[in-house]
Amino acid sequence: MYNKKSKIELKKSLKRESFNRTTCSFYKYCFIDNPEDLRNKLYSDLIEQDILGRIYVSKEGINAQISIPEHNVEDFKSYIHSIDVFSDIKFKHAVEEGTSFLKLKILVRDEIVAYKVPEESYDMNKTGVHLKPVDFNSSIKEKDSIVLI
């Protein structure tokens, strides 16, 4: 399951599109039992939605930068949220639009971000809590707060 078209053919296909695309990214650290199976399912489902981009899947989660036809954005988000471990994923949309990707590439990797940190040195279930700006400001007023920039 991979693209078999040449770069020239892919560029021509993009030029013929009669719709705009939205570029977005998302990631989540979570345990994925069988990254290969997830990769194959994602590929066959996302190619049907005309999604382009790059997605890394590993036992520790998912990391994606993709281009979605504007008319498929809500269906795509619903699809990702329908996968149990991704039900709470937040999407970040690109500030500037344009042609971001020529094809869909989904790779199984050892890590979704290459930190080269030994697996036994962290627990993916221990994650931070997202704070609203007002809550962040309150939390840094506490006596022992440290903010790293």
Tokens 């930068």 belong to residue: 65
Distance in angstroms (rounded) separating the CA atoms of residues 139 and 142: 6
Query: Around 29, how many Cα atoms within 13 Å sit in the side-chain half-sphere?
Result: 11
Q: What is the pLDDT of residues 57-80, one digit of tens each?
A: 999 999 999 999 999 999 999 999
Domain ranges of the chain: 7-119
Residue 35: which of 2, 61, 53, 54 has the closest Cα?
61
Does residue 140 have a pLDDT over 90? no
Cα–Cα nearest to 53, from 89, 23, 77: 23
**What residues are paired with 8 via a beta bridge?**
none
Q: According to the CATH classification, is domain 7-119 in 3.30.70.100?
A: yes
Residue 109's pLDDT is: 93
pTM tops 0.85: no
